[in-house]
C-alpha cells in the first residue's frame, strides 16, 4: 500500500505536469564561457522585481493615496509600523537597483549581440520592460507626496507637453488636470499598483518563456569556435547548477539591499506644499538625469524650432531605435552591424557623463 | 466690387483721422506740461541749475506741476521778462521760513489734494506746528528742519520710492544729517549719538539687514511731521504699538507703579532706547549681564524672583537645545523624526511665549509657561532616544542578517561544489 505522501504526490501529478516542468528545466543547458557571468544580470533584475512586488504589497496595506493622507501614511509606515521603515527603504533602494540592473542587462545583451535571430522578440519585450520599469519609477516617485517628488513630477510632466499636437493632452492625462493635485496622485497610484504591474507581469511571462524556449545565447565569436571545435563546448544544467549560482547572486543582492536600507534609510523629506516655491536646483531621479541635463543644455531655438521639443523628439527616436535594434542590425545595405557597438559605447558614455554632470551641476 | 472698395477707402480715412487725433492729443499733453523755466535753468550751474533729469523724477513734475507752482511766474512764456515778472506773482528763491506755509498752501487743502491723491493726509502742517521743529520754527529758528530738509526740493520723490529721503530705509540717515552733527546740534544741547546707537540695534538689523520695511525707524517712535521725543510716561505707549503683549503684561506687573514712582521710563529702563539690542535670557536674573541687579540687591524679594525666572528660562532653553541636538543627530543618521521635530517646534514656541511672559515679572506666572514647554521638550527627548535605540537595533539586526546571508552563501557554494564533483 502506498504511503500517504506518495498518494498526495500522485494525486497532484495527475492534475499538474510538475515532472514535465522539472524535466524541461533540467533539459535546459547554460553555456559556460568567459562571458557567462553576464547571464546573471537578467535573473538579478527578476529578483529585484520580485522584491518590489513583495515590499510594494506590504506597503499597500498601510499606504493611503490622497493629497491629505499620502505623506502622513508613509510617515506612519516609517515610524509606527513594525519594520515599516525596512520595507519602505528596501522598496526604494530596490527600485533604483532594479533600474540600474535593467540597464546593465540591456547593455550586456547589446554588446554580446544576444538579440540576433531568433531572439529579436526577446529583445523587444526586454526593451518594453525597461520602459515599464522607468514608468514604475516615475509613477512611484510622487506617491510619498513630499516637496521633492511634487516638484520633480511637475517638471517631469511638463516635458511631454512640448511634443507638438499630442503634448498637452498627454500632460493633462498624466496630471489629471492643469496642475499636480490629489488627482495626479491617485492617477499615478493607479498606474503604479495596477496597470503597470499587470502589463509588466504579462511581458515578464513572455520574456521568460522566450528565454526558456530559445535558451541562452552564446556570443558570436565563441559560437563559431565551438562549431569548429565541438570538444571545447562547455555547458552546465540550468537546474539545479545555474539556479543555485543565481540563488547565491540573489542572496548577495539581498544583503546589499538590507545594508543600504539599514545604513542609508530612504528619507521622507517635507510634505508637499503646492503653494510653496520650487526648491532650488531640483533634479529628477538619477535614471532621468541624463535626459534632464540634455534638455537643460539644448539651446532654446535650433534652426527656428523649439530646442526642447527637438530634444524630446530625439529621445523618442533613440527609444524607437533601441526597440527595433535587432532589425537594424544588418550587413546590408550600410553594414550597421559594425557601427552598433561603437554607437552604443558613445551613447553609454554620453548617458554616464550627462548623469554625472547633472548630479554635480547646480 | 465698388462697395467693397468704398468700404476699404472709408476704413483708411477713419484710420487717418484716429492717427491725427492721437498726434494732436500728444501735442496737447506736451503743451499742458510746458515748463519754459527749465530751458534756461537746466543749463545754469548750482544753485540756480536744475537738470531736466532731476526735475523729471520730481513727484510734482510727474503730476503735471511746473516750477511756477512754488516759485510763481509764468512757465508757459519763453520770454524771461514775462516768465519771471514780479507783476505776475513770480517769487524767485523761497525763504526757509516760508517753506512750511508754502507747502501747506496745497498739502493742507483737502479739496486740492483730492485731485492728485485722495488717500493723502492733509494734516502735515498742523502736526508740524506741534513738533519740536515746528515750535522752534514758529519762534523764528531758521536752523530747524522744514519740509524740504527731509523731503528734498527739486528731486522730491514719493515716500514709497526707495530713492526718496523719507523712504523707510533712508529715514534714519535723513534725520542723522542734522541729529548726528555735533556742531549743528550744539545750540540745542541734545545728544548726537542716536544714529550710531540705532545702527547697533535690533530694529536697524530688522530694517536694513532683513529688509523688513515695517521695522521701527526714527519716525516710528518719534512721529514724522509731529516729531517729538516721547515723554517718560509715554514710552510704554510707543513700544506697545508693536510689542502689544509685553506692554499688556507690564501694565499688570509690579514694575508699572514702581517705575512710575521712581520716574523710570518703562521699557527703556531695561532695554535702552536707540541702542536696543536683541534681548537674551541673561538680561533676566542676577548674573553679570542681568539688568535686574541695577535696582534689586541680594536678599530682596525681587532679586530672588529674578534668579528664579532666569533659572526657569535657562532650564527650558537647555532642554530644548538638548532635544533638538538629539533629534538632529538621529535625523542625520537617517531616522524619520518629522513628528518629534514638530513637537520640538511647540517647545520652542513655549520658550518664546515664556520670554514674553517675563514682562509680568512674576515667577509663578512664568513657571506655568516654562513647565508646559519642559513637558513637551521631555516628550521630544524621549522620541529622540527611542529613535537612537531603534537605530542601534537596526545596526545589530543588519549585522546578524549579513552573518546569516554569509553562512548561506558559503553553504550554497559548498553544495554546488559537492554537486559538481559527483
Rounded Cα gap, residues B170 and B163, in angstroms: 8
Whole-angstrom Cα distance, residue B380 to residue B323?
6
Q: Which residues of B touch A248 (CB under 8 A)?
A: 409, 412-413, 416
Direct distance between the N- and C-terminal alpha carbons of chain B, in angstroms, rounded to an integer: 106
- Rounded to 5°, angle at Cα A64 from A63 and A69: 120
For residue A312 the three cell numbers come to 524630446
Cβ-based contacts of B388 with chain A (< 8 Å): none
* B397–A241 C-beta distance less than 8 A: no
Q: Residue A306: enclosing H or E segment and its boundaries? A: strand A305-306
Look at the block and give the residue holding cell 535573473. Answer: A43
Q: Which residues contact B198 (CB under 8 A, 6 or more apart)?
A: B172, B204, B217, B218, B274, B275
Cβ-proximal residues to B145 (8 Å cutoff; 6+ apart), any chain: B133, B178
**Contacts with B, A 163-202, CB within 8 Å:** none
Distance (Å) from the alpha carbon of A330 to chain B's nearest alpha carbon: 41
> Which among B298, B243, B239 is positioned nearest to B273, based on CA atoms?
B239
Q: What is the pLDDT of residues B371-380, one digit of tens each?
A: 999 999 999 9
Q: Measured in whole angstroms, how far is the alpha carbon of residue B163 from the centre of its chain? A: 16
Name the one residue in this structure whose C-alpha cell is 533659572: B311
Half-sphere CA count of A333, side-chain side, radius 13 A: 0
Check CB contact under 8 Å for B416 and A78: no
Q: Which domains can be identified in chain A, with CATH numbers?
A: 26-216+234-274 (1.20.810.10)
B401/A255 Cβ within 8 A: yes
Cβ within 8 Å of residue A357, ≥6 positions away: A293
Q: Taking CB atoms and an 8 Å limit, are B336 and A75 in contact across chains? A: yes
**Three cell numbers written together for B413:** 557554494
The complex's ipTM works out to 0.86
Mean pLDDT of all residues in B40-50: 84
Q: How far is CA A318 from CA A114, A204, A220, A356, in A?
A: 20, 23, 25, 20
State the smallest CA–CA distance between residue B402 and chain A in angstroms: 6
The confidence band for B33, taking pLDDT boundaries of 50, 70 and 90, is: low
Chain B positions touching A77 (Cβ under 8 A) are none
Give the C-alpha separation, A228 to B6, whole Å: 94
Q: What are the residues facing A271 on neighbouring strands?
A: A146
Contact A262 B335 (CB under 8 A): no
Give the residue from A34, A28, A13, A61 showing the smallest Cα distance to A236. Answer: A28
List the one residue out of B236, B237, B218 whose CA is nearest residue B228. B218
* Rounded distance between C-alpha atoms, residue A100 and residue A95, angstroms: 9
Could you tell me which residues are beta bridge partners of residue A305? A302
The cell for A102 is 535593467
Radius of gyration of chain B (CA): 36
Is this structure's pTM higher than 0.90? no
8 A C-beta contact, residue B58 and residue B155:
yes
Burial tier of B81 (Cβ tally within 10 Å: 0-12, 13-18, 19+): exposed
Peptide bond into B112 cis (omega under 30): no
Region class of A330: left (phi > 0), else alpha (psi between -120 and 50), else beta: beta
What is the least distance, in Å, from the CA of A70 to any CA of chain B?
15
Cβ neighbours of residue A310 under 8 Å, at least 6 residues apart? A298, A302
A61 touches chain B (CB under 8 A): no
Contact between B155 and B54 under an 8 Å Cβ cutoff? The reply is yes
Distance between A292 CA and the closest CA of chain B, angstroms: 28
Q: Domain limits of chain B? A: 301-421
pLDDT of chain A along its 362 residues, tens only?
678 999 998 888 889 988 888 787 778 889 999 999 999 999 999 999 999 999 999 999 999 999 999 999 999 999 999 999 999 999 999 999 999 999 999 999 999 999 999 999 999 999 999 999 999 999 999 999 999 999 999 999 998 888 888 999 999 999 999 999 999 999 999 999 999 999 999 999 999 999 988 989 999 999 999 999 999 999 998 888 999 999 999 999 999 999 999 999 999 999 999 998 888 888 899 999 999 999 999 999 998 888 989 999 999 999 999 999 999 998 877 788 888 999 999 999 999 999 999 999 87
Q: How close is the nearest chain B Cα to the Cα of A50, in Å?
A: 18
Q: Are residues A327 and A120 in contact, defined by beta-carbon separation less than 8 angstroms?
A: yes
Cis peptide, bond prior to residue A359, ω within 30 of zero: no
β-bridge partners, A301: A306
Residue A138 φ/ψ, nearest 5 degrees: -65, -45
Judged by CB atoms closer than 8 Å, whether chains meet at B415 and A244 is answered as yes
Residues in chain B: 422
Tracing cell 498624466 back to the chain, one arrives at: A174
Amino acid at each position: 500500500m502506498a504511503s500517504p505522501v506518495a498518494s498526495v504526490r500522485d494525486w497532484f501529478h495527475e492534475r499538474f505536469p510538475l515532472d514535465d516542468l522539472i524535466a524541461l528545466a533540467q533539459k535546459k543547458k547554460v553555456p559556460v564561457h568567459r562571458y557567462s557571468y553576464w547571464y546573471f544580470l537578467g535573473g538579478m533584475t527578476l529578483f529585484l522585481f520580485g522584491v518590489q512586488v513583495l515590499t510594494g504589497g506590504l506597503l499597500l496595506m498601510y499606504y493611503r493615496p490622497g493629497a491629505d493622507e499620502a505623506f502622513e501614511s508613509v510617515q506612519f509606515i516609517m515610524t509606527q509600523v513594525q519594520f515599516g521603515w525596512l520595507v519602505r527603504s528596501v522598496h526604494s533602494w530596490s527600485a533604483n537597483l532594479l533600474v540600474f540592473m535593467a540597464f546593465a542587462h540591456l547593455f550586456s545583451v547589446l554588446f554580446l549581440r544576444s538579440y540576433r535571430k531568433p531572439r529579436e522578440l526577446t529583445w523587444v519585450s526586454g526593451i518594453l520592460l525597461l520602459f515599464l520599469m522607468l514608468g514604475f519609477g516615475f509613477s512611484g516617485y510622487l506617491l510619498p507626496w513630499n516637496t521633492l517628488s511634487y516638484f520633480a513630477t511637475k517638471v517631469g510632466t511638463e516635458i511631454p507637453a512640448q511634443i507638438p499636437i499630442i503634448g498637452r493632452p498627454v500632460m493633462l492625462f498624466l496630471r489629471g488636470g492643469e496642475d499636480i493635485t490629489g488627482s495626479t496622485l491617485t492617477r499615478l497610484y493607479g498606474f503604479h499598483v495596477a496597470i503597470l504591474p499587470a502589463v509588466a507581469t504579462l511581458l515578464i511571462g513572455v520574456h521568460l518563456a522566450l528565454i526558456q524556449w530559445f535558451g541562452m545565447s552564446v556570443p558570436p565569436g565563441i559560437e563559431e569556435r565551438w562549431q569548429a571545435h565541438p570538444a571545447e563546448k562547455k555547458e552546465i544544467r540550468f537546474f539545479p547548477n545555474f539556479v543555485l549560482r543565481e540563488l547565491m547572486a540573489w542572496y548577495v543582492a539581498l544583503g546589499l539591499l538590507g545594508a543600504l536600507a539599514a545604513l542609508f534609510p530612504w528619507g521622507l523629506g517635507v510634505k508637499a506644499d503646492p503653494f510653496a516655491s520650487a526648491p532650488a536646483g531640483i533634479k529628477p531621479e538619477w535614471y532621468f538625469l541624463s535626459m534632464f541635463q540634455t534638455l537643460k543644455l539644448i539651446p532654446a531655438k535650433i534652426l527656428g524650432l523649439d530646442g526642447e521639443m527637438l530634444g524630446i523628439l530625439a529621445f523618442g527616436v533613440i527609444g524607437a531605435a533601441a526597440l527595433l535594434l535587432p532589425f537594424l542590425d544588418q550587413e546590408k545595405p550600410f553594414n550597421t552591424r559594425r557601427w552598433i557597438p561603437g554607437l552604443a559605447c558613445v551613447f553609454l558614455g554620453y548617458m554616464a557623463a550627462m548623469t554625472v554632470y547633472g548630479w554635480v551641476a547646480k | 466690387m465698388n462697395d467693397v472698395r468704398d468700404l476699404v477707402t472709408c476704413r483708411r480715412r477713419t484710420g487717418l483721422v484716429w492717427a491725427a487725433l492721437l498726434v494732436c492729443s500728444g501735442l496737447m499733453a506736451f503743451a499742458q506740461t510746458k515748463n519754459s523755466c527749465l530751458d534756461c535753468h537746466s543749463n545754469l550751474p548750482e544753485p540756480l541749475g536744475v537738470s531736466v533729469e532731476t526735475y523729471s523724477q520730481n513727484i510734482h513734475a510727474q503730476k503735471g506741476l511746473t516750477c511756477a507752482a512754488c516759485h510763481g511766474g509764468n512757465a508757459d512764456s519763453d520770454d524771461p521778462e514775462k516768465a519771471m515778472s514780479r507783476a505776475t506773482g513770480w517769487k524767485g528763491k523761497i525763504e526757509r521760513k516760508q517753506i512750511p506755509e508754502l507747502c501747506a498752501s496745497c498739502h493742507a487743502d483737502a479739496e486740492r489734494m483730492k485731485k492728485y491723491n485722495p488717500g493723502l493726509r492733509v494734516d502735515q502742517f498742523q502736526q508740524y506746528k506741534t513738533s519740536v521743529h515746528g515750535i522752534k520754527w514758529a519762534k523764528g529758528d531758521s536752523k530747524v528742519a522744514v519740509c524740504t530738509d527731509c523731503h528734498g526740493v527739486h528731486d522730491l520723490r514719493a515716500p514709497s520710492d526707495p530713492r526718496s529721503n523719507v523712504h523707510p530705509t533712508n529715514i534714519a540717515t535723513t534725520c542723522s544729517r542734522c541729529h548726528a552733527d555735533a556742531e549743528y546740534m550744539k545750540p540745542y544741547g541734545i545728544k548726537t549719538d542716536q544714529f550710531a546707537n540705532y545702527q547697533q540695534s535690533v530694529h536697524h538689523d530688522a530694517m536694513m539687514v532683513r529688509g523688513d520695511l515695517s521695522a521701527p525707524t526714527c519716525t516710528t517712535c518719534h512721529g514724522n511731521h509731529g516729531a517729538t521725543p516721547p515723554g517718560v510716561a509715554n514710552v510704554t505707549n510707543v513700544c506697545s504699538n508693536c510689542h502689544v503683549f509685553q506692554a499688556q503684561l507690564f501694565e499688570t506687573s509690579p514694575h508699572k507703579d514702581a517705575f512710575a514712582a521712581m520716574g523710570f521710563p518703562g521699557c527703556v529702563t531695561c532695554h535702552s532706547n536707540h541702542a536696543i539690542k536683541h534681548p537674551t535670557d541673561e538680561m533676566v536674573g542676577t548674573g553679570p549681564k542681568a539688568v535686574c541687579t541695577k535696582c534689586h540687591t541680594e536678599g530682596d524679594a525681587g532679586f530672588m524672583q529674578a534668579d528664579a525666572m532666569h533659572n526657569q528660562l535657562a532650564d527650558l532653553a537647555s532642554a530644548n537645545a538638548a532635544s533638538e541636538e538629539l533629534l538632529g543627530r538621529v535625523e542625520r543618521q537617517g531616522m524619520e523624526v518629522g513628528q518629534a521635530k514638530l513637537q520640538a517646534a511647540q517647545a520652542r514656541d513655549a520658550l518664546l511665549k515664556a520670554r514674553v511672559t517675563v514682562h509680568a515679572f512674576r515667577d509663578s506666572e512664568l513657571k506655568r509657561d516654562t513647565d508646559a514647554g519642559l513637558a513637551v521638550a521631555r516628550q521630544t527627548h524621549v522620541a529622540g532616544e527611542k529613535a537612537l535605540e531603534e537605530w542601534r537595533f537596526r545596526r545589530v539586526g543588519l549585522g546578524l542578517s549579513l552573518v546569516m546571508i554569509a553562512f548561506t552563501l558559503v553553504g550554497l557554494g559548498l553544495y554546488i561544489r559537492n554537486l559538481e564533483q559527483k
